[in-house]
Chains A and B, each alone.
Chain A
Amino acid sequence: MKFVLLWTDGLAWALVAACIAFAWIVHRHEHLRAPWRRVAHSATAMASVPVLCVFLLIGLADSIHYRLALEQVDKAAPARYAVEVQSVLDALLDRLRTARERTYSAPLAIHAYQKESIDQADGTTVRDYPSLRFAGLHLHSEGERTTDLVVRASSGAVIGLLIWGVIWLGARTRKGEQSRQPSPERTDAAWLSLAIILMCGAMIARCASGYHVFGTDRVGQDVLYLALKSIRTALVIGTLTTFVMLPFSLGLGIAAGYCKGWIDDGVQFIYTTLNSIPSVLLIAAAVLLMQVFIDTHPDLFQTLAERADLRLLFLCIILGLTSWTGLARLLRAEALKLRELDYVQAARALGVSSLRIMSSHVARNAMHLVVITLVTEFSSLVLAEAVLSYIGVGVDPSMNSFGTMINAARLELSREPPVWWSLAAAFSFMFILVLAANLLADAVRDAFDPRTATARIAPAATQAGAHR
């Protein structure tokens, strides 16, 4: 076995390390912790945290790649590795990955979608729906399917609840006495959503061991597997893109606002120019160029996965280049405001260098804008990926993503009966991810934005009642 470090893997893990470091710094400073605590007061945000954590775990498990060693005939020869790059998630989902049917099959079905000629034992052939190769093999007769599914689902629910109970008891005994007094933090919402996730997860896992829970696609691959594999792509695009653009927006935005003058003019000119180009067209142009480069340099890439990965990274960079302007503009306005404040004037009077004022006084006090942008951009980027893949300028067609799933399945609704499950799986996974991110982003914006933090909205009842 040989580990393969793809570009996006390395960046994703670096990002995780950076987030842990950031969390550590926040944890040690009370004034940084306060807004995060306000986020925890929102029940919807707390409920979405476990959902995002599950997606994150799946994405990270899919970010450790390796190539299996091939069996060696000659012991002396150097080790040879499979061309196919696998991830830890593939190993975990080995059954789903290898359970390949011939073509479409409906969710939880035991028969294929199309009729085929089947040779009977007595030599005749009939046209009927053939049995699937990997679904419902343990059943003795067709009638057992419903009872079997009910048993599997309910046992899954019980298992999920049991796991939840163990975690809950563990957390409770660790916290001990101090948790007795009521706190405004809505951990109850987080526990509730964790219970639901564990129950659904265990139910799906129980059923997936005997059936194709979301059916199979045109080439017979399990749709659940495809959807789970797509999560990593969505997460990479949603997070790396904003981080790629972060140095640009921070550096140029703050420099423009703090220094004013020709630097300000120059930065404004750059972002007006970039903004004026319709972003889809700029992305399309850049991706087409990238494709030409990849096609003319096939020797740079050892495996198909590396090629697809480089295209993904490039897509992130291009999306970042077209979207850094929004954050840069916000930071410029904030720096213009901050540079007039007393503590910045004092620092300047004390002879602190401009660079240091920008980095430790201005940038640090504009961090709330960065946090808000990071969380709000995430969901729009995940949605954008699907659209770009539809237009044909998204990720590599060989890479699993929600966009490629939708693109491959969108014409199948016109079949009779319609093949809806691929679309349904892609859209519902994407919806859950984006909804959770949006709910969290909403709470983060409320907690970090000083405008909403100072002027909390009074309920209509009290305001309307005041003048009566």
Chain B
Amino acid sequence: MSAWLLRRFAYALVILFAVNLLTFALFFVVNTPDDMARMQLGNKRVSAEAIERWKQEKGYDKPQWFNASASGPGRWTDTLFFEKSVRLFLFDFGNDIDGRSIREEILARMGPSLALAVPVFLVGLAFNITFALGMAFFRGTALDLSGRIACIGLMSVSSLFYIISGQYLVSKVFALVPISGFSGGFDALRFLVLPVAIGVLGGIGAGARFYRTLFLEEIGRDYVRTARAKGLSEWTVMFRHVLRNALIPILTGVVAVIPTLFMGSLLAESFFGIPGLGSYTIDAIQSQDFLVVRSMVFLGSALYIVGLLLTDISYTLVDPRVRLE
């Protein structure tokens, strides 16, 4: 187990390094710091000195891969790649355009992101499983068919529509909750009710439909037929046998998502003015703050890899047939 973990950890590091190389290539080689300076300074008629000054201020004036003017290990460490990429592994993200520490920002914004993402995740999971179980229980009937069509209908609506119309109806017309904003403590509940409801509603279509197929696959198994042959009621079969076994693929699938909850939800956070990581990312994209975007890419990749690891581990925990080797 520990040897396996160690190997996976090394593999994760290699992948993160590749991600870093890729984003470095995207952000610095294809798109040189000069272009970046020109974009940040606003117009195309910037003097060469202004660009140089900007690059020096932000630390972009070093050679990309290899510094011939330095000596010793400094030849490799005093470069743009080392400064901007390798430091990410130490979670040293540098400062954003406004001069604030990106690391502090991320730590401060994690809370609001989780306050939105965790309820959406949990409530959504419970909702989807219930809905899917209902459809599987009434499989083949008109109720199942209308449930399926409802799922497809819900899936076909743009998430922007849920947010815009929800915000308009609930916050503006009926004035039940504030339109946007956030605050700490219990007061946050007021601000979170609507985005959570919208997040859950937007996820029902795809989620419930997927879980329904999982349940139906399980219902076709031999052990379910055996349970029925013993004379168990349909109710017992569904809850004691089908639900429990179908939870294995559901839970292992869900584990991969848990770490990415930290990244927050891009759309909901930006529409509802929640100061989380999602809205931070959107702001960074819109103000073309590449350092923040790169930090978020690194963080997202790291969390994704943690999710993969957790998935593998959770398999061994719930299914004794699987062993890590």
Q: Tell me whether A413 and B168 are in contact (CB under 8 A).
A: yes
The 8 Å CB contact of B158, one of A288, A431, A439, is: A431
Residues of chain B within 8 A (CB-CB) of A272 are 15, 308
Q: Which of B139, B158, B290 contacts A427 (CB 8 A)?
A: B158
Shortest Cβ distance from A289 into B: residue: B31
State whether the Cβ of A246 lies closer than 8 Å to any Cβ in chain B.
no
Docked CA distance A296–B27 (Å): 16
Could you tell me the distance between the alpha carbons of A247 and B293 in the complex, rounded to whole angstroms?
A: 30
Please tell me which stretch of A53-61, A109-117, A122-130, A385-393 contacts chain B, meaning at least 4 of its Cβ atoms lie within 8 angstroms of it.
Answer: A385-393
Asked if A280 and B158 sit within 8 Å, CB to CB, the answer is no
* Residues from 436 to 468 in A contacting B, C-beta threshold 8 Å: 438-439, 442, 451, 455, 457-461, 463-464, 466-467
With known contacts A276-B15, A281-B297, A460-B141, A387–B160 Cβ distance under 8 A = yes
For A288, the chain B residues whose CB sits under 8 A away are 31, 285, 288, 290
Tell me whether B216 is interfacial, beta carbon within 8 Å: yes
- Min Cβ gap A466→B in Å is 7
Contact A467 B158 (CB under 8 A): no
B255 vs chain A, min Cβ distance (A): 16
Known: A276-B19, A427-B158, A458-B140. A282 touches B297 (CB 8 A): yes
Q: Is the CB of B26 within 8 A of A285?
A: yes
A434 with B286, Cβ < 8 A, contacts A278-B263, A281-B300, A410-B164 known: no
* Cβ B137 vs Cβ A460 within 8 A: yes
Structural contact, A435 and B156, CB atoms closer than 8 A: yes
Which chain A residues lie closer than 8 Å to B297 at the CB level? 277-278, 281-282, 285
- In the docked arrangement, what's the CA distance between A152 and B146, Å? 35
With a cutoff of 8 Å between Cβ atoms, the chain A residues found around residue B27 in the complex are 285, 289
Question: In the assembled complex, which residues on chain A have CB atoms less than 8 Å from the CB atom of B153?
Answer: 435
Q: Is the CB of A430 within 8 A of B158?
A: yes
Q: A276 touching B300 by the CB < 8 A rule?
A: yes
- Shortest Cβ distance from A230 into chain B, in angstroms? 13
Q: Are A281 and B304 in contact (CB under 8 A)?
A: no
The interface residues of chain B lying within 8 Å CB-to-CB of A457 are 139-140, 216, 220
Q: Which listed segment binds A: B65-73, B76-84, B227-235?
A: B227-235
Residues on the B chain within 8 Å of A423, using CB = 164
Could you give, for residues 386-415 of chain A, a 1 whenever the CB lies within 8 Å of some chain B CB and a 0 otherwise?
110011110000000010001000100110
Cα–Cα distance between A410 and B231 once the two chains are bound (Å) = 58
Q: What mask results when residues 141 to 160 of chain B are scored 1 for a CB within 8 Å of chain A, else 0?
A: 10010001100110111111
Residue of A nearest to B23 (CB): A285
| Least CB distance, A436 to chain B, in whole angstroms | 9
Closest CB in chain B relative to A458 CB, distance in Å? 7
Question: Is B239 located at the chain interface by the 8 A CB criterion?
Answer: no
A392-B286, A431-B156, A461-B141 given as contacts; is B229 within 8 A of A285 (CB)?
A: no
CA distance A210 to B155 in the complex (A): 36
Q: Which of A281, A413, A464 contacts B293 (CB 8 A)?
A: A281
* Interchain CB contact (< 8 A) of B141 among A282, A292, A430, A459: A459
Instruction: Assess whether B160 is in contact with A386, with CB atoms less than 8 Å apart.
Output: yes
Quick one: which of A285, A289, A392, A451 has the most chain B CB within 10 A?
A285
| B50 beta carbon closer than 8 Å to chain A | no
- CB contacts under 8 Å to B, within A269-302, are 269, 272-273, 275-278, 280-282, 284-286, 288-289, 292, 296
Complex Cα–Cα for A439 and B209 (A): 13
Given contacts A276-B19, A438-B156, contact A281 B141 (CB under 8 A): no
Contacting residues, chain B, for A410 (C-beta < 8 A): 160, 164
In the complex, what distance in Å separates the CA atom of A286 from the CA atom of B216? 41
Shortest CB–CB separation between residue A339 and chain B, in angstroms? 23
Rounded to whole angstroms, the CA-CA distance of A296 and B152 in the bound complex is: 44
Is the pair A406, B152 in contact by a Cβ cutoff of 8 Å? no
Once the chains bind, are A434 and B156 in contact (CB under 8 Å)?
yes
- The answer to whether A276 touches B304, judged by C-beta atoms less than 8 angstroms apart, is yes
B139 touches A460 (CB 8 A): yes
Please tell me if the beta carbons of A413 and B158 are within 8 angstroms of each other in the complex.
no
Q: Does B39 contact A (CB under 8 A)?
A: yes
Nearest chain A residue, comparing its CB with the CB of B278: A280
B304 x A275 contact (CB < 8 A):
yes
Any A CB within 8 A of the CB of B90: no
Whether A351 sits at the interface, judged by CB under 8 Å, is: no
User: Would you call A391 and B282 a contact (CB within 8 A)?
Assistant: yes
Closest B residue, CB atoms, query A402? B158
Are B140 and A459 in touch, CB under 8 angstroms?
yes
- A439 CB contacts on chain B under 8 angstroms: 152
The reply on A184 being an interface residue by CB < 8 A is no
Contact call B160/A292, Cβ cutoff below 8 A? no
Min CB–CB distance B215 → chain A (angstroms): 11
Establish whether residues B31 and A292, one from each chain, have CB atoms under 8 Å apart when the complex forms. Answer: yes
Q: Which residues of B contact A85 (CB under 8 A)?
A: none
Please, which residue of chain A has its CB at the minimum distance from the CB of B282?
A391
Q: Report if A239 contacts B (CB, 8 A).
A: no
- Complexed CA–CA distance, A284 and B40 (Å): 17
**Selected contact of B301 from candidates A276, A285, A393, A451, CB within 8 Å:** A276
Most buried by A among B19, B160, B168: B160
A434 to chain B, nearest CB (A): 4
Q: A273-B18, A277-B297, A278-B297 are in contact. Are A442 and B141 (CB under 8 A)?
A: no
Do the beta carbons of A273 and B19 come within 8 Å of each other? yes
16 A/B residue pairs, CB under 8 Å, sorted by A? A44-B149, A269-B15, A276-B15, A281-B296, A285-B290, A288-B31, A379-B156, A383-B158, A387-B160, A406-B158, A410-B164, A413-B164, A423-B164, A434-B156, A434-B158, A442-B148
Task: A386-B158, A392-B286, A457-B216 are known; give 7 further A-B pairs, CB within 8 A.
Answer: A281-B281, A296-B35, A383-B158, A390-B160, A392-B285, A418-B168, A438-B156
Top 9 A-B pairs, shortest CB-CB distance: A459-B140, A278-B300, A435-B156, A276-B301, A276-B304, A434-B156, A284-B285, A273-B18, A438-B152
